[in-house]
Chains A and B, each alone.
Chain A
Amino acid sequence: MSTARKQAGAELLEQLGKSGYGKPPLGCMQCGLCAATCPLGSAMEFPPRNLLLQAASGNLDKLLESPSLWMCVACYACSKRCPRGIELTESLWPALRDAAMQRGIQPPAELQETFQNVLKYGNVLGKSPRARLDWTKSLDVRVLDLSREPRPVDVLWLVGCYPSYYPRNQVVARAFARILTQLGVAWGILGTKEKAVGECDRMFGEEGLFETLVEDNRKLFDKYDFGKLVVLDPHAYRALQNFYPRFGAWYPAQHYTTFLAEYMEQLRPLMVKPVETVVTYHDNCCVGRRCGCYDPPRELLGLISGVKLVEMAHNRDDSLCCGGGGGGMWLDAHIVAHGGQRLSDQRVREAADSGADTLAVSCPYELSRFEDAAKVTGLEGRVKVRDIIELLAEAMDLGERSVA
């Protein structure tokens, strides 16, 4: 192997060591905890431990061309377990993906389409920006669109791509609008001007696209007077909390679970309707494992009379990923074609095994992933997938009749 090639891998790892994400990757002692904990590691040609070894040894070419480069679903399990504190999820994987694309290596076609949708339309679904407010059409509470009616608000709610466009998630968006209104929160949205926050693009390694979104969003956010950003998407939360500030774009942001948990006492008397169900809660990876926020979602569920909370075999920092992060949302076919499995299928079986009849979630990806998984595994009807927001809205008698 040429010295130049060997250096390319080591240099990349050395640069990452200085990036401010975790401890230097060259400090890896090859203990293998990362590979052992990776839910898709056994299917990867280069699971995390080997990824580091091969990069450090200069085997970058082989590694960047491997389909396993596009199999990480950003569950943070490797980063969480690494005794050396190496940030594989937010640093190593995106950097390698970026390096691959810079060399002209083509990402899976599904990802190319997603990137192009975000660049052209500002949303992952490739929908018209003008249709971003369609979810509000059947809404019975007032929506303040700051882009048309700028005024100071306490909460600037970034609705997100799926809740804005995807019919199943639009139900959740409407329920959240009703809850905010019921709580008397002064809230507004960006209307048709809203764009993707871009977490998934960065995790895919599309750093340039992410930078473009940060620049656009920053200009947009700075136009308005708001107290904090509130998001439904835990990925967006993570990006605003940790990636945006690296571009000098610092905005106070909260995921809706921690935001609503601050209204616990106001919410309690509003719970007027029992919801008789056994619920298990799926900890999403960003707010859960990455940020260690496990109690607020459970406390919110605990407010609802009739709800009995049970835990799945894997919960809290040991939670099993739905497989949708880091581009996984679009890469089920790629992952399965290369020997991996749909983690959402496994997770929904765990939910059924827990004895729950409701799988509660707090991430827009998870509704469709788990509902699909329930169909695939024959558990449809046995396990109902619902966002915490939907359960709260039902208990507050604010739910949509067709869904509740």
Chain B
Amino acid sequence: MNIAVVVRQVPDLIEPLEIAPSGTEFDFGSASFLLNESDDHALEQALLLKEAHGGHVTVVALDFGDVDNTLYTAAAKGADRIVKIARDDAPPPPRAAAVLYAEAIKPIAPELVLVGVQAHDELDGGVAPFLAAALGMPYVGVIRGVAVGAEPGAVAAFKEFPGAVMARMNVKLPAVLGILGADQPPRYVPVSRIRGAMKTTQFEESAAAAVSSEPLTAIARLYPPAAGSRAEMLSGSETEIASRIVDILAQKGLVK
């Protein structure tokens, strides 16, 4: 099966995000980036399908942040092709980014497109359904596993609903699936393999960069949430603090 996977770099929240002086965007200059978690699962799902049924996995990414490390890791894990969309600045919001991904994916003509169902930088909606719309493919999201079904030209996608109900859906291909989790956790690949991939992997440049990706929404203002009533900080010796905690819990009726 010919599978395309979209992987995105998202700000690493190990550092607090700074709002740029403009007040309408983040200051990415001070941020570090990492692979979006559900995209990592999308890649794992693609590799599992390839290993079980044969095929070809192409990883598509916007050239931003330290995406190269992510892409070399994907190659070390078993991705066959890496396509990079050149960018001079930070990725546009999801609706515009989806257009870029779609343009890069069309020449690959995949039967299945896997992308993480969510990312914490999705300011104007999810990339996954926008991408399906841009590709003119059906979309199912919040997928927790994919199997090659009994029906030819379709996959079985497992979706979890609230209330611990699982659904097995037959999805006709080509299709876009928004992956929440792969059948197994993303694999660990030793660094020596990544170092090897750095020497042997060739990135392909996508022409999609030429496509206009004007944001369709505008951010009026970014700001930290307003603080509510402040927390009470307890001070004193350990014994005093402990007895104060007990008093508070007792006042609230949580302990007798």
> Is chain B found bound to chain A in the same assembly?
yes
Report how far A112 CA is from B73 CA in the complex, Å: 14
Q: Is A252 an interface residue (CB 8 A)?
A: no
A-side contacts of B190, CB under 8 Å: 98, 101-102, 205-209
Known A-B contacts A106-B187, A106-B188; the reply to A208 vs B14 at CB < 8 A is no
Closest to B15 in A: A128
- Other-chain contact of B195, A101, A102, A116, A212 (Cβ < 8 Å): A212
Q: Are B191 and A107 in contact (CB under 8 A)?
A: no
Q: B115 at the A/B interface (Cβ < 8 Å)?
A: no
A107/B193 in contact, CB under 8 A? no
The answer to whether A112 touches B14, judged by C-beta atoms less than 8 angstroms apart, is: no
Kindly list chain B residues whose C-beta atoms are within 8 Å of the C-beta of A107: 188
Q: Closest chain A residue to B186 by CB distance?
A: A112
Query: Which chain B residues border A115 with CB–CB below 8 Å?
Result: 188, 191
From the candidates A119, A130, A205, A206, name the one contacting B15 in the complex (CB within 8 A).
A130
Establish whether residues A211 and B195, one from each chain, have CB atoms under 8 Å apart when the complex forms: yes
| Interface 0/1 of B129-167, CB less than 8 Å to A | 000000000000000000000000000000000000000
Are A119 and B187 in contact, CB atoms less than 8 angstroms apart?
Answer: no
A44, B195: Cα distance in complex, Å: 33
Check: B192 CB closer than 8 A to any chain A CB.
yes
Can you list, as one digit per residue, whether each of A116-137 has a CB less than 8 Å from chain B (1) or not (0)?
Answer: 1001110000111010000000
Within 8 A of B (CB), among A307-339: none
Contacting B14 at CB < 8 Å: which of A101, A116, A128, A206? A128
Complex alpha-carbon distance, A207 and B191, angstroms: 8
List of B residues within 8 angstroms of A126 by Cβ: 14
B188 touches A102 (CB 8 A): no
Check: B194 CB closer than 8 A to any chain A CB: yes
> Does A109 sit at the interface, judged by CB under 8 A?
yes
- B6-38 residues with Cβ-Cβ distance < 8 A to A are 12, 14-15, 34
A102 contacts B193, CB within 8 Å? yes
Residue of B nearest to A127 (CB): B14
- Across the two chains, which residue of chain A brings its CB closest to B184? A106
CB distance from A404 to the nearest CB of B (A): 16
- Give the A-B contact count at a CB cut-off of 8 A: 44
Q: How far is the CB of A370 from chain B (nearest CB, A)?
A: 21
Q: Is A248 an interface residue (CB 8 A)?
A: no
Per-residue CB proximity of A209-226 to B under 8 Å, as 1/0? 101100000000000000
- Per-residue CB contact flags for chain A residues 94-114 toward chain B (1 = under 8 Å, else 0) read 000010011010110100100
In the complex, whether B185 has a CB less than 8 A from a CB of chain A is yes
Chain A neighbourhood of B185, CB < 8 A = 109
**Chain A residues whose CB sits within 8 angstroms of the CB of B12 once the complex forms:** 120
Closest chain B CB from A390 CB (angstroms): 20
Contacts A109-B185, A120-B34 hold; do A209 and B14 have CB atoms under 8 A apart? no
User: Are A209 and B191 in touch, CB under 8 angstroms?
Assistant: yes
B191 A206 Cβ-Cβ under 8 A: yes
Report the minimal beta-carbon distance from A306 to chain B, rounded to whole angstroms: 26
Query: Chain B residue with minimal CB distance to A117?
Result: B14
| Chain B residue, CB-CB nearest to A213 | B191
Q: Are the C-beta atoms of A104 and B187 separated by less than 8 Å?
A: yes
Chain B 203-241 near chain A by CB (<8 Å), digits 1 or 0: 000000000000000000000000000000000000000
Minimum CB–CB distance for A113 against chain B, Å? 9
Partner of A208, one of B15, B187, B194: B194
Set of chain B residues within 8 Å of A106, measured between Cβ atoms: 187-188
* Nearest-neighbor residue (CB-CB) of B185 within chain A: A109
Question: Which residues of B sit under 8 angstroms from A207, Cβ to Cβ?
Answer: 190-192
Q: In the docked arrangement, what's the CA distance between A211 and B198, Å?
A: 14
Residues of the A chain whose Cβ atoms lie less than 8 Å from the Cβ of B15: 128, 130
Name B187's closest neighbour in chain A (CB-CB): A106
A112-B190 Cα distance, complex, nearest whole Å: 9
Cβ distance A35 to chain B, nearest Cβ, rounded Å: 28
Question: How far apart sit A208 and B34, CA to CA, in the bound complex (Å)?
Answer: 20
Contact residues, A203-259 vs B (CB, 8 A): 205-209, 211-212
Report which residue of A208, A209, A212 has the largest number of chain B beta carbons within 10 angstroms of its beta carbon: A208
How many whole Å from B121's CB to the nearest CB in chain A?
A: 18
Nearest-neighbor residue (CB-CB) of B194 within chain A: A208
- Give the Cβ gap from B216 to chain A, nearest Cβ, in Å: 33
Of chain B, the residue at the smallest CB distance from A105 is B188
> Which residues of chain A come closer than 8 Å to B187, judged between CB atoms?
104, 106
Q: Is the CB of A208 within 8 A of B192?
A: yes
Q: Which residue of A lies closest to B190 (CB)?
A: A101
Distance, CA A209 to CA B185, complexed state (A)? 21
Q: Which of A98, A101, A130 contacts B188 (CB 8 A)?
A: A101
A145 to B197, CA, bound (A): 36
Q: Which of B14, B34, B185, B190: most chain A Cβ within 10 A?
A: B190
Question: B188: which A residues are within 8 A, CB to CB?
Answer: 101, 106-107, 112, 115-116
Q: Give complex CA distance A121, B191 in Å.
A: 14
Contacts of A206 in B (CB 8 A): 190-191
Please state if A121 and B192 are interface contacts (CB–CB under 8 Å).
no
* Contact in complex: A121, B195 (CB < 8 Å): no
Min C-beta distance of A273 to chain B, whole Å? 24
Which residues from B are CB-within-8-Å of A212?
191, 195
Minimum CB–CB distance for A197 against chain B, Å:
16
Contacts of B193 in A (CB 8 A): 102, 208
A121 to B190, CA, bound (A): 16
Q: Lowest 7 A-B CB distances belong to which pairs?
A: A208-B192, A208-B191, A209-B191, A112-B188, A101-B190, A128-B14, A208-B195
Binding site for B on A (CB under 8 A): 98, 101-102, 104, 106-107, 109, 112, 115-116, 119-121, 126-128, 130, 205-209, 211-212
A-B contact pairs, 5 of them (CB 8 A): A102-B190, A115-B188, A126-B14, A206-B191, A207-B192
A121-B14, A206-B191, A208-B193 known, 20 other contacts, Cβ within 8 Å? A98-B190, A101-B188, A102-B190, A102-B193, A109-B185, A119-B191, A120-B12, A120-B34, A127-B14, A128-B14, A206-B190, A207-B190, A207-B191, A208-B191, A208-B194, A209-B190, A209-B191, A211-B192, A211-B195, A212-B195
Binding site for A on B (CB under 8 A): 12, 14-15, 34, 185, 187-188, 190-195
